[in-house]
Amino acid sequence: VRKVSIIGVGQTRFGNLKDMTLKDMIAEAGNEAVKDAGVPKQEIQELFVGNFAAANFNNQNHIAPYAGSVLGLAGIPCTHYEGACASGGLALRQAIITVASGARDVVMVLGVEKMNSLDTGGVTTVLSQAGDWEEEAMLGLTFPSVFSLIACRHMHEFGTTREHLAQVAVKNHANGMKNPKAHMQKLITIETALNSKRVAEPLGLYDCSLISDGAAALILCAADVADRYPGKPVDVIGYGQASDIFTIYRKDNLTSIGAAVRAGQEAYSMAGITPADVDLAEVHDCFTIAEIVAIEDLGFVAKGEGGPATAAGFTAMDGEKPVNTSGGLKSKGHPVGATGVAQVIEIVNQLRGTAGERQVKGAEIGLTHNVGGSGATCVVHIMKRRA
Amino acid sequence: VRKVSIIGVGQTRFGNLKDMTLKDMIAEAGNEAVKDAGVPKQEIQELFVGNFAAANFNNQNHIAPYAGSVLGLAGIPCTHYEGACASGGLALRQAIITVASGARDVVMVLGVEKMNSLDTGGVTTVLSQAGDWEEEAMLGLTFPSVFSLIACRHMHEFGTTREHLAQVAVKNHANGMKNPKAHMQKLITIETALNSKRVAEPLGLYDCSLISDGAAALILCAADVADRYPGKPVDVIGYGQASDIFTIYRKDNLTSIGAAVRAGQEAYSMAGITPADVDLAEVHDCFTIAEIVAIEDLGFVAKGEGGPATAAGFTAMDGEKPVNTSGGLKSKGHPVGATGVAQVIEIVNQLRGTAGERQVKGAEIGLTHNVGGSGATCVVHIMKRRA
């Protein structure tokens, strides 16, 4: 099995991109990644596309060869991967497996979503199809409700507070201020978060991630051919994917995402590291409570300690284990299919030392954690700076 | 790279399955494949799901872990692959690559679609999203129109006739009569086909495939562990996938699907065979003209000879190269995401010698050809009987 490196990254700004079509976003992110890698387009052998619901948002399905044509890549295999909010991470994992298998040397991974074509109610309905329609979504259990249940149970079991949740939002908004590609460029205080409009108790407006448009792309190659191209390589040293019971009412435990625990363990084991070896991480903070659960599931802190650790600055930009330096889904934005790819871009920038104002000094190992639905899918990737 | 075998198959009846939910269909096909392979469920390490548009047809997205939970497989990686009508074939290809890479030993591939939840107009709209919405579908270029253009051009260039198209329908309806799982169990004559209601000239009702519900599943394993299980193995000896320019108006050539030519060449090359070595094939006859184009693109006959060869019985059940012994999309039915998987099931049955009334004597090598959209995706698989 060959080692795999990431040698190029490209990303649109995330936001309500009224002036950009789906094609515009694909072209901008994809072409920027190609340029960054310095790979001639004709050497790209396969395209892996992560997208959740362009069929619903944009009347456009079969989106992989659609993107391939936009990027001038028609001819090569183009495949669309869907795993709700983890779609981008799934596309990346299969790309890594395909290169590692020896089948391809150089490939592109692209994540894209244009969500602001619908109003908030429409988006909520489309997103709810990532849960079980018959048994949950149709009955009103949309994602704010799902994560409100998770938050309530976490508070009940571990004494997590609304202030802890608000600390996640304050931190990620501060980080997003330093990211020119972030959707939300706005500092907030604990009070702003606590007093915001209620969405699903105990979650308020600032506990929720954003409805964003955006695209993100990576160029991957076999580590042993990375020297052929000018793009500065970052090595993939581990990855894991797992699923969980689809409906949350059938789960034994609401305060942990089993798929995240398993995906993390698989990735750590492959990389031969422990959670303590991870210098920084991008985790799936679709809601503030999700970041608290994530840092516990990934073993960065003990179960139940996510809230206090956040309040103590453990995950701050200058903390022991910076989390979501990009601003996270909360502030960078959450164009669903692009999210898992954009998380990796932040880690690549950090490990290359090109994260600008957000740079974490001495970062050597970074992790991404990308969750789909109410946790039925999780994929984790671990990257390492090349010496 | 390890060799891969198929050791289990399972399939629902195809049809307008009013009495079955999406979950019922997944359970029936998946559990039948598990039983056929004789694999303990806990040994299945990953699930690959092909589905086109459950989000539109059934309000259900994120369908891979949804299926995983239905099948009692929650925990393992579950990934959804979408490539329009080639979704099932794409899922199978990535499953093969994943096993071949050594990452997994035993996996399941499942294809499913429940289309009859919408009326014909609704289905046509959803299907049209497999083409370019802005540039084609929104303007009225739905798939019957696309294949009518292909048929017109093929007639113009090669003298193909409406009778040739009708011969495809007559043959596939006759084959479907022998397939108890086929949607349509109805013999037709050339006259019935020629005089049927017009859909998009020169295509009539009997030139079009069906709107079907159904699911199909396979159990794959590394060839070197196939002996552990009772399921009779059939070996995968080649596969290929390619894309093409997304919009048909930008293509140089309407009478050939470039992606099919490239996917076929890649598969033949990997298998070390020529088209002449293929004993039988399941090809993507979404419209009768598509089967004629397919047997040309795959090199079974010379370009332009597809019509006359069909009329001469070359592709008949007792012909030199039987094509669509299952009845094909035309008569077996076309539950989009299941189609690419069901094609492989027919070949497995033929190579195992368990195809009953449809059995082609002495079949050793079989091929499947699965096309998405107006040809922007094609995936080809070649299987061989184990000595």
Per-residue pLDDT of chain A (387 residues; tens, 9 = 90+): 899 999 999 999 999 999 999 999 999 999 999 999 999 999 999 999 999 999 999 999 999 999 999 999 999 999 999 999 999 999 999 999 999 999 999 999 999 999 999 999 999 999 999 999 999 999 999 999 999 999 999 999 999 999 999 999 999 999 999 999 999 999 999 999 999 999 999 999 999 999 999 999 999 999 999 999 999 999 999 999 999 999 999 999 999 999 999 999 999 999 999 999 999 999 999 999 999 999 999 999 999 999 999 999 999 999 999 999 999 999 999 999 999 999 999 999 999 999 999 999 999 999 999 999 999 999 999 999 998
Please give the Cα distance from B384 to B273 (Å, whole number): 11
B138: left (phi over 0), alpha (psi -120 to 50) or beta: alpha
Which element (helix H / strand E) includes B47? strand B47-50
Nearest CA-CA distance, residue B227 and chain A, Å: 24
Burial class of residue A277, CB neighbours in 10 A (0-12, 13-18, 19+): middle
| Closest Cα in chain A to B45 | A242
* Beta strand extents in A118-227 (DSSP E only): 198-200, 203-204, 213-222
Is the Cβ pair B61, A372 closer than 8 Å?
A: no
Of A244, A200, A211, nearest in space to A83 by CA:
A244
Instruction: Select from A270, A231, A229 the least CA-distant residue to A348.
Output: A231
DSSP state letter for A82: E
A79–B97 C-beta distance less than 8 A: no
Report the distance separating Cα B287 and Cα A4, nearest Å: 42
What integer pLDDT is reported at residue A1 of this predicted model? 82
Compare CB distances from B81 to A81, A126, A242 and report the shortest one's residue: A81
| Residue among A175, A236, A291, A164 nearest A5 (CA) | A236
The question of whether A334 is a catalytic residue gets the answer yes
Which tens digits make up the pLDDT trace of B2-56? 999 999 999 999 999 999 999 999 999 999 999 999 999 999 999 999 999 999 9
Q: Which residues of B are less than 8 Å from A241 in CB distance?
A: 77, 79
Residues of chain A neighbouring B91 (CB-CB closer than 8 A): none
Of the candidates A62, A98, A101, which has its C-beta nearest B376's C-beta? A62
Nearest CA in chain A to B22: A134
Q: Which ipTM value was assigned to this complex?
A: 0.97
| Short-list A311, A307, A319, CA closest to A280 | A319
Is residue A109 a contact partner of residue A218, using CB atoms and an 8 Å limit? yes
For chain A, the straight-line distance linking the first and the last C-alpha, in angstroms and rounded, comes to: 21
From B262, which residue of chain A is nearest by alpha-carbon distance? A75
Would you say A55 and B129 are in contact if contact means Cβ atoms under 8 Å apart?
yes
CB-based contact B286:B371 (threshold 8 Å):
yes
| Separation CA B231–CA A90 (nearest Å) | 30
- Residues constituting chain A: 387
Pick from A60, A81, A259: CB nearest B80: A81
Selected catalytic residue, list B80, B154, B164, B334? B334
Token representation of residue B358: 């449809």
Q: Which of A5, A2, A10 is nearest to A383 (CA)?
A: A5
Class of residue B42 by CB neighbours under 10 A (exposed 0-12, middle 13-18, buried 19+): exposed
pLDDT for the residue numbered A79: 98
- Which of B60, B69, B259 is facing A245, going by the closest CB pair? B69
Residue among A47, A55, A81 whose CB faces B55 most closely: A55
Look up B152 and say whether it is catalytic.
Answer: no
pTM (2 d.p.): 0.98
Mutant choice from B69, B82, B371 vs A, greatest count of A C-beta within 10 A: B82
Chain A: give the shortest CA distance to residue B47, in Å.
10
| Alpha helices by DSSP H, A9-160 | 22-37, 54-58, 63-70, 87-100, 120-128, 143-158
Distance between CA B78 and CA B48 in Å, rounded? 6
- Of all helices (H) and strands (E), which one includes residue B49? strand B47-50
- Residue whose tokens read 């497996």: A97
State the first-to-last Cα distance of chain B, in angstroms, to the nearest integer. 21
What whole-number distance in Å separates Cα of residue A86 and Cα of residue B176? 40
Strand segments (E) across A132-197:
none
Distance between A284 CA and the closest CA of chain B, angstroms: 17
For residue B202, cis peptide bond before it (omega within 30 degrees of 0): yes
Q: How far is B376 from chain A (nearest CA, A)?
A: 6
Q: Which residue from A110, A89, A60 is spatially nearest to A372, judged by alpha carbons?
A: A89
Selection from B381, B378, B344 nearest residue B238 by Cα? B381
Q: Nearest to residue A306, comparing CAs of A178, A134, A167?
A: A167
Q: Determine the pLDDT at residue B355.
A: 98
Closest among B3, B11, B387, B28 to B218, alpha carbons compared: B11
Cα nearest neighbour of A337 on chain B: B62
Q: What is the largest CA-CA distance in chain B?
A: 56
If you count residue pairs, one on A and one on B, with CB atoms under 8 Å apart, how many are there? Answer: 211
SS3 assignment, position B13 = coil
Note whether B242 contacts A55, CB cutoff 8 Å: no
* Segments in chain B below pLDDT 50: none
Beta-bridge partners for A234: A6, A385
> SS in 3 state form for A95-116?
HHHHHHCCCCCEEEEEEEEECC
Whole-number pLDDT of residue A329: 98
Beta strands in chain A (DSSP E): 4-11, 47-50, 78-82, 106-114, 198-200, 203-204, 213-222, 234-243, 280-282, 365-372, 377-385
Phi and psi angles of residue A171, each rounded to the nearest 5 degrees, phi first? -60, -50
Instruction: Give the pLDDT of residue B387.
Output: 80
- Beta-bridge mates of residue A69: none
pLDDT for the residue numbered B221: 98
Residues of B in contact with A238 (CB under 8 A): none
Q: Could you tell me the CA-to-CA distances from B160 to A334, B73, B164, B300, B311 in Å, in that order?
A: 51, 49, 6, 17, 11
